[in-house]
Structure 1
Amino acid sequence: MARVAAGPEIERLIQLLARLPGLGPRSARRAALHLVKKKEQLLGPLASALAETRDTIVTCDNCGNIDTMSACTLCRDPARDRSLICVVEEVGDLWALERAAVLNGLYHVLGGTLSPLDGVGPEDLFIARLVERAGAPEVTEILLALNATVEGQSTAHYLTDHLSGCNVVVSRLAHGVPIGGELDYLDEGTLAAAVKARKVM
C-alpha cells in the first residue's frame, strides 16, 4: 500500500480499514480522512463502539449466531417455531433472512462451506452440533439456505447425507428466476435451475 503524508497512527488506521471487505486502499484512505475530520462526531463514538463490541460479543454455542450472550436472543425467543432449523453459511446470511422476515424458525450458522482446496473440511464447520440439534424430538425440518455456489451445493449434499439418519425433512431454497428478472438477462445456470425446479400451475 502506498504511504500517505501522515503520521504512523493514521497510516495504521488506513491499513486496518483496508482489511475490511469492500474497502481497498483508496477507499480506506477516504474513510480514514473522513473519520479524522469528524473526530468528535465519528471517531470517538466509533472507537467506543468497537471496544464495547470486542468485549461483549460472543458466539452462540447452540446455533453459531453472534450476540452478547449464549444462548443468543433468537435461540431464547419462545415465539420461534422450534420445528424448523434454517441452515446458513455465515451470520450475514442469517441477518438477510431476518430482514426479509420470511421465516420464524431457528437458525444454524455453519461458519462457511466445505472447500477441500482451501483446506476446509467438516471438522472446521459447525456440523456436528447441527446433527445433534436435528435429533431433537421437536425438530421436523432442516432448511438448507446455502449459497448457489459449487461449495454451497457440495456442502448441502454432504449435510443431506449426514442428516439422513435423523427423523427430519431436509429441504432447500428454490433456485431460479428472481422476481422481476427477465429471461434474456439471466445466465444459463440460473435458467437451468429454474427449469428443473418448475412447478405445476
Structure 2
Amino acid sequence: MDEEEQLFAQEMSGVKRLEVDARIALKKQGVDNINIAARREAATARSERRNFLSTGDIELLDPYHILEFKREGVQHGVFRRLKQGKYRIEASLDLHKMTVEKARLEVFEFIREAMKLDLRAVIIVHGRGHNSSSNGAVLKSYVNRWLPEMEEIQAYCSAQPQHGGAGAVYIMLRKSEAKKQENRDRFSRSRGS
C-alpha cells in the first residue's frame, strides 16, 4: 500500500457502512412502453373521432386546374382580393411528399390551430402532382374536397404564381367574434370622426 492509500485507510478506520433497506426493482421499461403505446393509441383515436375529413375515392383533378370556392355571404370584393393574393399570408402548410392520410391529419390540425390563433389568411402548398404515379394531382384533389367540409373555411382559390400558382391555395378563414367586434369598433370610430 502506498502512502495515500494508508492515509485514506487511517481516516476511514472508524467509519461503519450504512444499512440500507431492501429495495424492490421496478421493471420500468416495460411499463413505460405500454403506457406510451396506450396514450398514443388514445390520442390517435381522439384525433380520428374529431377529424371528419373524408378519404374516399375522388375524381383526380388536372395538375393545372384552378381551384375556387366561396361560401354564401362572402363579399365579391373580398374574394377578388383573395384571388389576387392581396391578403397578408399569416401561416403556411406544405404537403409535398405526404401521404393522403398524413396530409388529411396535417390540414385538419393546421386549420384548427389557425382558428385558435385568430388567423384570417393562410396558404396550403399541395403541389401539382407531377411526381405522382397516378394520372392527376392527388393531394390537390383531396385538398379541394376537404376545405369545403370545414365550416371555418370561408373561401379559397389557387394562389398567384409567386406563391405556388396552381400548386397552392389561398384560404380565407372565418372571423372570430373578437375580430368582428374589432372591425365594428374601428368602423364606428371612423364614422364618428
- Report TM bin, short chain: under 0.3
Normalising by structure 1, we get a TM-score of 0.27
Larger relative contact order (C-alpha < 8 A, sep ≥ 6)? 2
Normalising by structure 2, we get a TM-score of 0.28
